[in-house]
Amino acid sequence: MVIPMDILELIEKLSATADGDAVTLPVASSDEAELAAAWCVRTGNTFVAGDGTSITVRRGRPPDPIAVLRADRRPGARLWLYTNFDCNLACDYCCARSSPQTARRALGVDRVQQIADAAPAAGVLEILLTGGEPFLLPDLGDIVAHCTSALPTTLLTNGMLFRGHRLEMLRAMPRDSLALQISLDSATPDLHDSHRGKGTWAKAVAGIRTALGEGFTVRVAATLTTDDRHEERDLRTFLDSLGIAREHQVVRPLAHEGAADDGLELTVQTLIPEVTITADGVYWHPVGADNDEQLVTRDIFPLDAAIDLVREQFRAYRNAADSTARTFPCA
C-alpha cells in the first residue's frame, strides 16, 4: 500500500509530540482531510477538525469529557421539561421571557407521558418540570403523575398559586417522589419585589410554608442580581429559619438570557448541557430554552437519540476547546 505524503508528514509530526498534544497541517483538498480522519480512526489518534485547507489531529485519544463528570451531572442525567411558557408573573430577568401575555406553548400531557416512559432507558436519573408557571396548567396533576411514576421529579414554581383547586391539585401529588422548588431571591421583600412585582415576596414565603406544611421536600432557588455577599448570607440565614436545609438552597447568579439586560454570558461552548425539552424541540440548557442558538434539534423523539446528539455535540465542543488550548504556542 502506498501511503500518501500528507499522511507521512502527519505521522512524522505526531511522533514528535507528547500524547494529548495536537498538530495542524495544510491539506490540498477535502479528500485529503477525509483520508486523515480515516487514518486517525485506524491508528487510535483523534481527528479534531479539518476542511479543504487544513487539518488538526491530536496524538492519542482524549479522555471522554462526559466520563469525568459526576454521574448525576452528565448530559441527559437530568431532563428538563418546559411544561408551558405563560406565567402569572413577569419577572424582569426571566430567561424564558414568561409573563401573563406569553403564549402558552404547552408541551402537553401526551408528549410528557411519552418522554417519561422513555426516560429511564435513555439514562435519565431525574425529571425537572418548569415553565412559565406550571400551576397555571389544569392538567398539571396528570403531568406530575406520569413523571413521578417513572423517575424522581422536581417541580419548579413561584409558589403563589396554592389555593382553591390548585391547592387540592398540590395535595394530590406524591410526597415520596416529588420535590418542589420555589423561587425566592432575598431575605426581605424589597429586592425580590423589585424584579418580580410588589407583594410577591410575601406570597412566595407563604407558598414555601404551605408546601412544607403539606409534607413536601422543598428546595428554594434564588437568582442573585447583586454582588453584595451580605445578600446571600442574609438569604441563607432566612431560609435556615424557614427550615430549608442547606443542600436544598440553590443560589445562582443572574444569566444574560431572555429578558435579562445583563448577567453571565452562557453559551453552548461554555455550558455543560442539561438536556431541555420544550414544545419547540430539544435545547442545550434550561436557561437557553428561548434562545435559538441553544436549539439542538426539533426532533424530541426518539428521546435517546436526542440525548445522544447533545452528548456528541458536547464532546465535540470540549475536544475542540482542548485542541485550541494545546495548539497556540508562542515560541
Average pLDDT over residues 218-233: 93
Contact assessment for residue 160 and residue 192, using Cβ atoms and an 8 Å cutoff: no
Average pLDDT over residues 210-218: 98
Q: How confident is the model over 194-203, as pLDDT tens digits? A: 999 999 999 9
Beta pairing partners, 217: 179
Whether the per-residue pLDDT at 178 is higher than 50: the answer is: yes
Average pLDDT over residues 206-228: 95
Contact assessment for residue 204 and residue 159, using Cβ atoms and an 8 Å cutoff: yes
**pLDDT of 134:** 98
Q: How confident is the model over 250-305, as pLDDT tens digits? A: 999 999 999 999 999 999 999 999 999 999 999 999 999 999 999 999 999 999 99
Please state, rounded to an integer, the average pLDDT across all residues of the chain. Answer: 93
Whether the per-residue pLDDT at 326 is higher than 70: the answer is: no
Average pLDDT over residues 46-51: 86
**pLDDT of 49:** 85
Whether the per-residue pLDDT at 89 is higher than 60: the answer is: yes
| Tally of CB atoms within 10 A around 100 | 11
Average pLDDT over residues 205-210: 98
SS (H, E, C) the chain: CCCCHHHHHHHHHHHCCCCCCEEEEECCCHHHHHHHHHHHHHHCCEEEEECCCEEEEECCCCCCCCCCCCHHHCCCCEEEEECCCCCCCCCCCCCCCCCCCCCCCCCCHHHHHHHHHHCHHHCCCEEEEECCCHHHCCCHHHHHHHHHHHCCEEEEECCCCCCHHHHHHHHCCCCCCEEEEEECCCCCHHHHHHHHCCCHHHHHHHHHHHHHHCCCEEEEEEEECCCCHHHHHHHHHHHHHHCCCHHHEEEEECECCCCCCCCECCCCCCCCCCCEEECCEEECCHHHCCCHHHEEECCCCCHHHHHHHHHHHHHHHHHHHHHHHHCCCCC
Average pLDDT over residues 22-31: 90
Beta strand pairing call for 295-297 and 281-283: antiparallel
Q: Cell for 266? A: 452562557
Average pLDDT over residues 7-19: 90
**pLDDT of 328:** 47
| Tally of CB atoms within 10 A around 116 | 23
| Tally of CB atoms within 10 A around 27 | 20
Instruction: Output the pTM of the full model.
Output: 0.85
**pLDDT of 20:** 83
